[in-house]
Structure 1
Amino acid sequence: MATRREQTSGESRELILTAAAELFAAKGYRQTTFADVAERSGISRGSIPWHFGSKEGLLLAVLESSLDLVRAGLGDGSGPSTEAGLDRMTAHLDALFAQPTTKLFVTLLVEALEPDSPIHGRYVAIHDTLRDHCKRWLDGLPPLPGVSTEALAVAIVGAGIGIHAQWLVAPDRVHIGQSLAALRALVAGLMPRT
């Protein structure tokens, strides 16, 4: 059983992670300071390096926590190859791109592409998780002639990331809900009916 001190430390850590994730998603990694995180979380600035060592350590912890949330939120991805499976596929796309972490992942993507980025490996894992989950759903549906499930999973995840990127750049011009609905309709329209 955790002591009160351990419980308080865990609560502080979660408050810091939540605040940092929100700020990284809104402002990006480089523009976010420990002072910003302390103000948003209500936890002292000095506690942040105590918990995470450095700003990079905080970023890696945020990404790891976010990836865990994505994995938990997406479930196992299995589904029968029936009409219900197609309905589940569209529900899966909703779940895949409605995660609160999606904005964070898209915002930090450019930083992950930089040479020697400390988050590059985490992004490989994030994209692997999204593609693997999507592929498991596709494996439960009739195959699309001439297209591998791996390639279709890459296209679906790429489209979702692209929609979010356009929305982040011009939220007044891109309606994310309608755009994701269009993606779902396109995928559903491509899938052969059994």
Structure 2
Amino acid sequence: MTADPAPRRRGRPPLEGRRDEILDAAVEVMAARGIEGTSLAQLAEELGLSTYALTYHFGSKDGLLTAIAGHVETHLQQEFDGLAALGDPSARTLVTGYWAKYGRTGAAGSTRLWLELALIASRDPDRFPGFLDAMVDGWRRTIVTFIGDEHPHAEQIASIAFATILGLELLELHRPGTVTETTLDGLVALYEISAGTSQAGQV
């Protein structure tokens, strides 16, 4: 018995940029409602779209979630890369700048969604292929690039920095307002001490 051919898309092609608009709105809804508890029909209703419109663009709920995973990760990376491209890409500029964006209205929901996607991907790697690699290794590579590949302990410092920022995000989700400017100053100081100590040990 042969498999049925894939259904053909009907109707007009999507407007340019429409897919990204849907993803932006879907991220907000999923961040508020959670992934597993929201059906495609419920999401379509929240977005003011038909279920057909979502399947037209993404094929299925998992197809949409895969696109959301990439969308969220790309957005976070672009924010960090944008900070790194500033004229003064110091550790303090990167940390405080990133946290200022994280602390904006709705950002906690996006972080919660990011972590929820990571948990699902850890249980079923085939569901969101490459997401954990982008989340962990991608961020570590970004931090290594900032530190400098030539630094003898860049990989170790990047791992510690990533883990610390992730921990602070979890703390802020649990107890909003806990991460203060003083907390961020401490993070920057720890980074500067570890980088300085590592370099001094090589002299």
Fold shared by both chains (TM-score > 0.5) = yes
Counterpart selection for 2:48 from 3, 18, 42: 42
1:152 aligns to what? 157
TM-score by length of 1: 0.72
> What amino acid is the match of 1:121?
G
Q: Which has the larger radius of gyration?
A: 2
Q: Does the 8 Å CA contact 1:97/1:160 hold for their aligned counterparts?
A: no
Counterpart selection for 1:64 from 66, 70, 81: 70
2:169 maps to 1:164: yes
Paired with 1:34 and 1:180, the residues of 2 have a C-alpha distance of 38
RMSD: 3.4
Counterpart selection for 1:125 from 130, 134, 144: 134
Counterpart selection for 1:8 from 15, 32, 38: 15
TM-superposed deviation, 1:54:
1.0
- Larger RCO, structures 1/2 (Cα 8 Å, 6+ apart): 1
Counterpart selection for 2:30 from 24, 30, 34: 24
TM-superposed deviation, 1:157:
1.7
TM-superposed deviation, 1:105:
0.9
TM-score by length of 2: 0.69
Paired with 1:166 and 1:28, the residues of 2 have a C-alpha distance of 19
2:62 maps to 1:53: no
TM-superposed deviation, 1:64:
1.4
> What amino acid is the match of 2:60?
S
2:116 maps to 1:111: no
Paired with 1:183 and 1:131, the residues of 2 have a C-alpha distance of 21
The count of aligned residue pairs is 178
For structure 1, list consecutive stretches of 5 or more residues without a partner in the other structure: none
Identity of paired residues, percent?
23
Judged with a 3 Å threshold, the aligned counterparts in structure 2 of structure 1 residues 23 and 188 are, in CA distance, closer, same or farther, namely same
Counterpart selection for 1:85 from 75, 87, 90: 90
Paired with 2:159 and 2:180, the residues of 1 have a C-alpha distance of 16
Paired with 2:32 and 2:97, the residues of 1 have a C-alpha distance of 26
> What amino acid is the match of 1:189?
A
Judged with a 3 Å threshold, the aligned counterparts in structure 2 of structure 1 residues 162 and 85 are, in CA distance, closer, same or farther, namely closer
SS at match of 2:179: helix
Judged with a 3 Å threshold, the aligned counterparts in structure 2 of structure 1 residues 27 and 180 are, in CA distance, closer, same or farther, namely farther
SS at match of 1:105: helix
Judged with a 3 Å threshold, the aligned counterparts in structure 2 of structure 1 residues 89 and 10 are, in CA distance, closer, same or farther, namely closer
